[in-house]
């Protein structure tokens, strides 16, 4: 279903397109994550570092590996020039083998990820999210024991670790997941999925 878009994308790239979307436009349908998961993944590491993996079937009839690398490096270079921050975004890996292309990015902060991909993304505390104007009028569920916390509880959890996502991704934080919003599928204590048909922002309270 990407054939028409791919042919147009070969001669024109749109300003403001997220890297995830751009990558999807450049590649054929299908995706995979390294190891066990077959979907776009966001990992939160210690010190606030964000990693993002995208793995999809690669159609060389549209783009060569060198062309794909050049396009992604151009996107990264433009962002670094704009922010003036060294290593705020890094293209860590680009590998094409057996019909699959793997692209891995590393972001210095959550804000770099949000700005580079033009999406909503936040990591910090509940209090910080409120100060930045994020909507905290949400109900959350503990997937391990079924405990629910209502929207009135969040203001009293100002120091709790909170992540907010706007994309359908597999989420893999280094901290354990305590509570999730209704549009999140809990997998295990370090993995949860925001489905492609969910609406609104996805919320995660993590163990400190």
Residue range 93-129, pLDDT digits in tens:
988 877 777 789 999 999 999 999 999 999 999 999 9
Question: In angstroms, rounded to a whole number, what is the distance separating the alpha carbons of residues 15 and 31?
Answer: 24
Is the predicted pLDDT of residue 196 greater than 90, yes or no? no
Is the predicted pLDDT of residue 86 greater than 60, yes or no? yes
Better pLDDT: 31 or 208? 208
Residue 184 confidence (pLDDT) = 95
Average pLDDT, integer, range 69-74? 90
Is the predicted pLDDT of residue 32 greater than 60, yes or no? no
45-54, 130-139, 149-158: least confident range: 149-158
Question: In angstroms, rounded to a whole number, what is the distance separating the alpha carbons of residues 190 and 161?
Answer: 14
Question: In angstroms, rounded to a whole number, what is the distance separating the alpha carbons of residues 114 and 89?
Answer: 11
Question: In angstroms, rounded to a whole number, what is the distance separating the alpha carbons of residues 208 and 194?
Answer: 22
Q: pTM higher than 0.85, yes or no?
A: no
Residue 19 confidence (pLDDT) = 53
Band (23; pLDDT cuts 50, 70, 90): low
b/e map 68-79, b = 16+ CB within 10 Å: bbebbeebbeeb
Is the predicted pLDDT of residue 29 greater than 70, yes or no? no
Question: In angstroms, rounded to a whole number, what is the distance separating the alpha carbons of residues 44 and 170?
Answer: 11
Domains of the chain, earliest start first: 3-116 (3.30.70), 120-206 (no CATH)
Chain mean pLDDT for the chain: 81
């Amino acid at each position: 279903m990407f054939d028409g878009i791919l042919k147009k994308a070969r001669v024109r790239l749109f300003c403001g397109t997220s890297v995830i979307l751009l990558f999807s436009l450049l590649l054929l349908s299908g995706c995979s994550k390294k190891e066990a998961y077959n979907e776009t993944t966001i990992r939160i590491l210690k010190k606030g570092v964000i990693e993002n993996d995208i793995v999809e079937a690669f159609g060389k009839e549209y783009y060569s590996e060198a062309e794909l690398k050049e396009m992604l490096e151009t996107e990264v270079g433009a962002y670094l020039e704009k922010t003036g921050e060294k290593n705020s975004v890094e293209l860590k890996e680009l590998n094409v083998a057996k019909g699959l292309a793997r692209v891995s990015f590393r972001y210095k902060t959550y804000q770099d990820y949000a700005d580079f991909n033009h999406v909503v993304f936040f990591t910090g505390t509940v209090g910080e999210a409120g100060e930045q104007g994020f909507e905290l009028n949400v109900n959350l569920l503990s997937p391990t024991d079924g405990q629910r916390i209502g929207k009135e509880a969040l203001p009293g959890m100002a120091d709790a670790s909170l992540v907010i996502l706007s994309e359908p991704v597999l989420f893999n934080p280094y901290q354990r997941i305590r509570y999730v919003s209704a549009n999140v599928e809990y997998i295990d204590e370090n993995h949860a999925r925001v489905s492609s048909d969910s609406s609104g922002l996805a919320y995660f309270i993590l163990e400190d």
